[in-house]
Amino acid sequence: MLASPLVSAVLPDRPPFVIRARLVSPLAVGGALDLRDGRLEVDAEGRIAAVGPWPAVGDGAAVVGGSVVSAAGSTVPVIDLRPFAVLPGLIDLHAHLPQLPNAGLGFGLPLLEWLERYVFPLEREFDADAADRLAPAAFRAFAAAGTTTAMLYGALWEPSTDRAFAAAEAHGIRAVIGKVMMDRLSYDEDPRTQAATLELSLRQSAELCQRWHRRDGGRLLYAFTPRFAVSCSADMLRESAALADAAGAHWQTHVSEDAGEIAEVERLFPEARDYLDVYDRAGALGPRTVLAHAIHLSDREVGRLAESGARVAHCPESNLFLSSGTMPLARYLEAGIPVGLGSDVAGGPDPSIFRAMRVGAYVQNARRVAGLDTAPILGPLDWLRLGTLDGARALGLGESIGSLEVGKEADLIAVDVAATAPLGEGAGGPVGSSGPELDDPADLLSRLIFRSHPAMVRGAWVRGRRLAGPPAAPDSPVQPVS
Ligand SMILES: [Zn+2]
């Protein structure tokens, strides 16, 4: 059994509350916070009001029964989550909402063939009814994986994107979503002209942006989402970038993922210097732009990407699931390119960002052994930073989420480290956050990354509000784990 099933009865549903737990987080100034017995206070607005060691008797705030006197002088409930560890919520910079039912299918195919065989038929069916049925389950699946912020592509259809936003609003997850835009190589079977498709796509995207961008105090954001250069005319790329700029919204697309895709872009845009230049000519590169993959860039493209301020969503599990390649992460970080992590479901087979960290770490190891990267490999706490604070910074949200620091919004997860124990609880050796070998926070993260258990995330919160999905939530009873 997982440890402490009774905790499900006391996980806080909404702020204010004070959590007692092990706290591990990257810090904005660099380095990591690690409090073995920590105290994290969330105020009534869902912001982190205090972070520190749990006070000893007679030292600071007194615990009276199940409550404590807060920094603001009011009485708030104390939730003892030991032996769980509390981390910042994970940030998935790249996934495809309509594709979750396909996760795990199509291994090893080249991108363009995989799209035609597996993805376009599925997305074509993603209408408003499908979104009503699937989007709530998808958001629960993200939260169960520890993701509290997801940047998502919808399908081509405005109504289903609208319903996906409504589902995100109701669920409580933080989300950046966009209607996919395509005015060629599309699964839209309507016989209208390309010009009419362009006009319709721009209008519908602008309407969705107006309706949803910055909804609920900025918890929901809009991203103009031209699929990739193969599916978009130069006009569509340029006009969508202009609309995003005018609205202060994000702009997301794919770049340089697969050899066949790159060859097709060269054919379609003979005037462009390279793949990145197609987006550069559209005026689309800047700090609100998130480019997925970017794994086969030339030296010129790496330099220009760094200079432009555009962000990269690194999706290592997808890059190996499809036969795409490996990304020179160390080189990008050295060049100063802001990078976060993406699951790219269903190009990646799993929504877990812990899994993305694991595969990303293996890829970097393999590249180093093969002599492709000479920089030192990243450690487990570096991977946590990529999946939390760096992801937040990539979205321009580094001041408000991504770490357990005072003043930030309380986007948190509670993780049952015992679920990762190699021999199970009671079989000897370190089984949880109290185990001697897990004193070092890097060891604790190493367990979470390399022995991720699908049920180890026991609670997820956005602004201190608990999300449905993790197995301790009332709608999803705790399952025994053998
Ligand atoms: Zn993708």
- How far is it, in rounded angstroms, from Cα 363 to Cα 325? 10
Amino acid at 1: M
Amino acid at 279: Y
Q: pLDDT digit string (tens) for 278-312?
A: 999 999 999 999 999 999 999 999 999 999 999 99
- How far is it, in rounded angstroms, from Cα 89 to Cα 81? 16
Residue ranges in the chain modelled with pLDDT below 70: 1-9, 56-66, 69-72, 425-437, 472-482
- What pLDDT, on a 0 to 100 scale, did the predictor assign at position 9? 43
- What pLDDT, on a 0 to 100 scale, did the predictor assign at position 10? 78
Tell me the CA–centroid distance for residue 153 and ligand 1, in Å: 8
- What pLDDT, on a 0 to 100 scale, did the predictor assign at position 74? 75
Tell me the CA–centroid distance for residue 347 and ligand 1, in Å: 6
- How far is it, in rounded angstroms, from Cα 21 to Cα 40? 8
Tell me the CA–centroid distance for residue 415 and ligand 1, in Å: 28
Tell me the CA–centroid distance for residue 114 and ligand 1, in Å: 12
- What pLDDT, on a 0 to 100 scale, did the predictor assign at position 428? 52
Tell me the CA–centroid distance for residue 36 and ligand 1, in Å: 38
- What pLDDT, on a 0 to 100 scale, did the predictor assign at position 474? 41
Tell me the CA–centroid distance for residue 456 and ligand 1, in Å: 26
Tell me the CA–centroid distance for residue 419 and ligand 1, in Å: 30
Tell me the CA–centroid distance for residue 322 and ligand 1, in Å: 11
Phi and psi angles of residue 180, each rounded to the nearest 5 degrees, phi first: -65, 140
Q: In Å, what is the CA distance from 165 to each residue of 131, 209, 397, 406?
A: 10, 11, 19, 29
Tell me the CA–centroid distance for residue 478 and ligand 1, in Å: 32
Tell me the CA–centroid distance for residue 318 and ligand 1, in Å: 8
Measured over the CA atoms of residue 307, residue 313, residue 315 and residue 318, the dihedral's sign is negative
Tell me the CA–centroid distance for residue 368 and ligand 1, in Å: 26
Tell me the CA–centroid distance for residue 342 and ligand 1, in Å: 9
Tell me the CA–centroid distance for residue 118 and ligand 1, in Å: 13
- How far is it, in rounded angstroms, from Cα 167 to Cα 161? 10
- 55-65 burial string, b = 16+ CB within 10 Å, else e? eeeeeebebee
Phi and psi angles of residue 7, each rounded to the nearest 5 degrees, phi first: -60, -30
Tokens of 131: 């979104």
Tell me the CA–centroid distance for residue 314 and ligand 1, in Å: 10
Tell me the CA–centroid distance for residue 293 and ligand 1, in Å: 8
Tell me the CA–centroid distance for residue 292 and ligand 1, in Å: 6
Tell me the CA–centroid distance for residue 12 and ligand 1, in Å: 34
Q: How many CB atoms lie within 10 A of CB 235?
A: 15
Q: pLDDT digit string (tens) for 154-191?
A: 999 999 999 999 999 999 999 999 999 999 989 999 98
Tell me the CA–centroid distance for residue 152 and ligand 1, in Å: 9
Tell me the CA–centroid distance for residue 254 and ligand 1, in Å: 6
Tokens of 456: 């180890």
Q: Which residues lie near ion ligand 1 (Cβ < 5 Å)?
A: 292, 344
Predicted structure pTM score? 0.93
Tell me the CA–centroid distance for residue 127 and ligand 1, in Å: 19
Tell me the CA–centroid distance for residue 135 and ligand 1, in Å: 17
- How far is it, in rounded angstroms, from Cα 217 to Cα 291? 25
